[in-house]
Amino acid sequence: MLADYAVCLEGSRGRRHPEPKHAYRNDFQRDRDRVVHARAFRRLDSKTQVFTRRYSDHFRNRLTHTLEVAQISRTVAAQLGLNVDLVEALALVHDIGHPPFGHAGEKALDTAMREHGYFFDHNLHALRIVEDFEIRYAAFRGLNLTFEVREGIIKHSRDYRVEQFPELEEYLLDKKPPLEAQLIDLADEVAYDTADLDDGYEARLLSLEAIRAGVPVFERYYRDVEQIYPDAIEKLKFNEAVKRMLDGMVSDLIRNTGKRIEESRIRSLDDIRNCPHRLASFSSGVEKERRETKKFLFANLYFTPVLEPEKDDAERITRELFNFWMEQPESLPQSYQEKARQEPLPRVVCDYIAGMTDNFIYDQWEKYCRGK
Ligand code: MG
């Protein structure tokens, strides 16, 4: 049973190119399946989240991270009576626009673009992927996703102003996105805050002592675990504490969002869209803990000197390849050379690089830039 404020199929604004209904899969389920079958989705498997494979084969990459976000989002959506099919499609597509080499790659690509008067934004890039770059169907270009999925791609993590992005006007930029889209960003937070503690501990970049001292919410759960399993080995106590932390954040998100829906007297999807602020959120207590956790991860993991050389390499490889193709566009693949006749060259080079996996960009750099 869907809540009154959930996105329902009957209310969908539909696809750009109308299609006959499927016999037993609804439109949001079909969108989810189209995302899973997209080439850009498969490539998430070889894209860095935080760590490259140098540290271990056990770590998350963007694909496994995406699956964790989908699992968390489904749980939250079901509890709030939201449209789980739409939420699943949005979660699976949420990171599809990320370039290789995680944030270092994104930063390098954005810097290179700004030198030519453009910029790189992974949400806008994701929209270009599903609208234009994926070529799988004879009847149309792109995946021909429903309006609600395209809107969620753009609006799940931030608001865009129509004065600055007139090309996005159709996505109701003066209104808030449905709760289905709002909760993706928070599920993303839950997934990577806990996963990065886990991977950081596993990589021995974070010690148990440092986490206990620097992440109060972890410390609280760890003490509980020590009471229940005093004889368990450290690694298992660690896992139990991280698991409780994840569950605590998810439960708080469900509870607090439900409470805000009540307090704001939300009765319909329009009420959600017209509400001056987003309604999906953690309680102030958990929000404070989340910020503490993030601060700890920034100081001790994302900006640890140990990962610096790797990030420097990522930025240098991205920048050098970008400059190489700007100077020698005749070395781009044929299809991109053709695109460059219709679109600005920096945009075409950026699109090409953003689609690459960590392995492929490295191979390209070896081929064109190494030793030059
Ligand atoms: Mg993510």
- CA of 93 relative to ligand 1 center, distance in Å: 9
Query: Has residue 58 got a pLDDT over 80?
Result: no
Question: How far does the centroid of ligand 1 lie from the alpha carbon of residue 191, in Å?
Answer: 8
Average pLDDT, the chain: 95
What angle in degrees, to the nearest 10, is found between the helix axes of 284-297 and 179-202? Answer: 40
CB atoms closer than 10 angstroms to residue 9: 16
CA of residue 278 to ligand 1 center, whole Å = 19
Query: What are the distances in angstroms from CA 256 to CA 179, 284, 287, 291?
Result: 13, 9, 11, 17
Output the pLDDT for position 371: 78
Given a cut of 90, is residue 325 above it in pLDDT? yes
Instruction: State residue 48 phi and psi, 5-degree precision.
Output: -65, 140
pLDDT of residue 156: 87
Domains of the chain, CATH where assigned: 9-308 (1.10.3210.10), 309-368 (no CATH)
Q: What is the pTM of this model?
A: 0.95
- Match 């030198």 to its residue by tokens: 115
Residue 37, pLDDT > 70, answer: yes
Cα 94 to ligand 1 centre (Å): 6
Residue pLDDT, tens place only, 131-182 = 999 999 999 999 999 999 999 999 988 889 999 999 999 999 999 999 999 9
C-alpha 88 – ligand 1 centre gap (Å): 13
What's the mean pLDDT in 338-365?
A: 95
- Give the distance (Å) from ligand 1 centre to CA of residue 358: 17
Q: How many CB atoms lie within 10 A of CB 144?
A: 22
Phi/psi at 61 (5° precision): -120, -175
Q: How far away, in angstroms, is 356 Cα from ligand 1 center?
A: 17
* CB count in 10 Å sphere of residue 226: 14
pLDDT at 52 over 70: no
Cα–ligand 1 centroid distance for 224 (angstroms): 29
Residue 65 CA to ligand 1 centre (angstroms): 7
Nearest of 41, 70, 47 to residue 60 by alpha carbon: 47
Q: How many whole angstroms from 329 Cα to the centroid of ligand 1? A: 32
* Centroid of ligand 1 to alpha carbon of 102 (angstroms): 10
Q: Cα of 327 to ligand 1 centre, how many Å?
A: 33
Element (H, E) at 18: none
